Amino acid sequence: MKGILSAILSALLRATHGMRRGGRRLWHHARLASQLRYPVPASVVIEGRAFVYGTGAIRIGERALLYPHLYLETQQQAEIVLSDDVVLSTGVHIAARAGIRVGRGTMIGEYTSLRDANHAREEGRPVRDSGYVTQPIVIGEDVWIGRGVIVLGGVTIGDRATIGANAVVTRDVPAGAVVAGVPARPLRG
């Protein structure tokens, strides 16, 4: 009897898997949309919770794919703009005080961090109270950013560039370039 019930329950769970997954996506979509200033297109697929902090000034393009555990923060007048067909993998961290733009078709690997601000230092004041130095980040179209990459403020990454896993990008990357390392440097072919 136990085996029969187990088989029935397993069959029921398999039969409803797609419906449950769709329901979770819909829930996460609605939750994210409720936290943003701008509408989230219906074509955006959200696989899990995104944590939104600050002003909620985040624009998401059509057909974006957002994996779980994203951290999205905007402060002051900054916006985060994710163009059409962008993929943000699990644990991506994007914090904007000046502005961050990600071009169409760009894929960003797990646990990557894009931060357009650094703490400033003022004589006689703790770093926490010394403000920030901010510069926007611009990432071109069809860029592939590997797992664990850090992109700092003021950087522009050109179209079709590739950034190797765990690189720290401190300066501009030309279109089509392949860079890796700390700090990121072009790889020789």
Residue 98 pLDDT? 97
Q: Which of 113, 109, 75 minimizes the C-alpha distance to 93?
A: 113
Residue 17 is a catalytic residue: no
- CATH number, domain with residue 59: 2.160.10.10
Predicted confidence (pLDDT) per residue in 149-184, tens digit: 999 999 999 999 999 999 999 999 999 999 999 999
Judged by average pLDDT, the poorest of 12-16, 29-33, 59-63, 172-176 is 12-16
Q: Which of 39, 38, 45, 40 minimizes the C-alpha distance to 24?
A: 45
**pLDDT-derived band at 147, boundaries 50, 70, 90:** very high
Residue 25 pLDDT? 78
Catalytic, out of 28, 69, 93, 119? 119
Say how many domains are in the chain.
Answer: 1
Give domain status of residue 38, yes or no: yes
Give domain status of residue 62, yes or no: yes
Give domain status of residue 106, yes or no: yes
Average model confidence (pLDDT) across the chain: 91
Average pLDDT over residues 124-143: 93
Residue 17 pLDDT? 62
Residue 27 pLDDT? 85
Q: Read off the DSSP letter of residue 68.
A: S
Give domain status of residue 56, yes or no: yes
Percent of the chain, pLDDT > 90? 74
Give domain status of residue 111, yes or no: yes
Q: Which of 146, 152, 183 minimizes the C-alpha distance to 165?
A: 146
- In single-letter form, the type of residue at position 150 comes to I
Where in the sequence is the domain holding 119, given as residue range(s)?
20-186
Predicted confidence (pLDDT) per residue in 44-63, tens digit: 999 999 999 999 999 999 99
Give domain status of residue 117, yes or no: yes
Give domain status of residue 146, yes or no: yes
